[in-house]
Structure 1
Amino acid sequence: MHKDELLELHEQMVDIMTHFEAQGDGKDELFQQYHDLDVDPSDVHKSKSEHKHAVFVLGNALASVMSEDEFSSAGRIQKRMEELADDAESKI
């Protein structure tokens, strides 16, 4: 995936996160790890690896918000996103 495609995906995922945060259902703390990264889709000067890590961390949080349990489709996605985030972090 090219960096511009990754930035577009990152931006779309942030839009989804914003939707969940606006619902005010108390699940905002699930996005804290993503916010702590301080990597925004508009930060084009940051490396592709940093954005990739942010996408996986955000994907993990989004899957967590949508999962009913660890065996649901979203729960399995959450687990895989967590693994990918750890792998991407080791490459930064």
Structure 2
Amino acid sequence: MQKDELIQLHTLLAQIKRHLESQSSDYDFSEYGSLSISPVHIHRSKADHKHAIFVLGNHLASIISEDELSGIGRTSVRMQEFAERTGRHSPISNN
């Protein structure tokens, strides 16, 4: 995926996050917030945006999952694995 495509995906996930926050204040996006990156930070690396997508995607998936056995629940677990892997600054092409 190209950097501009990652930024578009990051933008979509951030919009979903804002929508959920407007519906309820019960959601805690502090882990994503601690990354200090948003889709408008186009100067940040492709790896930074990819990590933010996985962290935010994991949290969004866990919010909408009913249980760990659902398809969405498995997606949440997989996103967490990706977030952990990219957080270790694994060798990722910065195209």
Q: TM-score surpassing 0.5?
A: yes
Q: Which residue of 2 aligns with 1:3?
A: 3
Separation in 2 of the partners of 1:54 and 1:71? 25
TM-score by length of 2: 0.90
Aligned-pair CA distance for 1:22: 0.8
Q: Given the alignment, which residue of 57, 60, 64 partners 2:58?
A: 60
Gaps of 5+ in 2: 91-95
Q: Which residue of 1 aligns with 2:13?
A: 13
Amino acid paired to 2:40: S
Aligned-pair CA distance for 1:25: 5.4
Percent identical: 46
Instruction: State the secondary structure of the residue aligned to 2:66.
Output: coil
TM-score by length of 1: 0.93
Aligned-pair CA distance for 1:35: 0.9
Runs of 4+ in 1 over 6 A off after TM superposition: none
Amino acid paired to 2:5: E
- Deviation string, structure 1 residues 22-46 (Cα, Å, up to 9, x no partner): 11151x21x2100111110000111
| Aligned residues between the structures | 90
Higher helix share: 1
Gaps of 5+ in 1: none
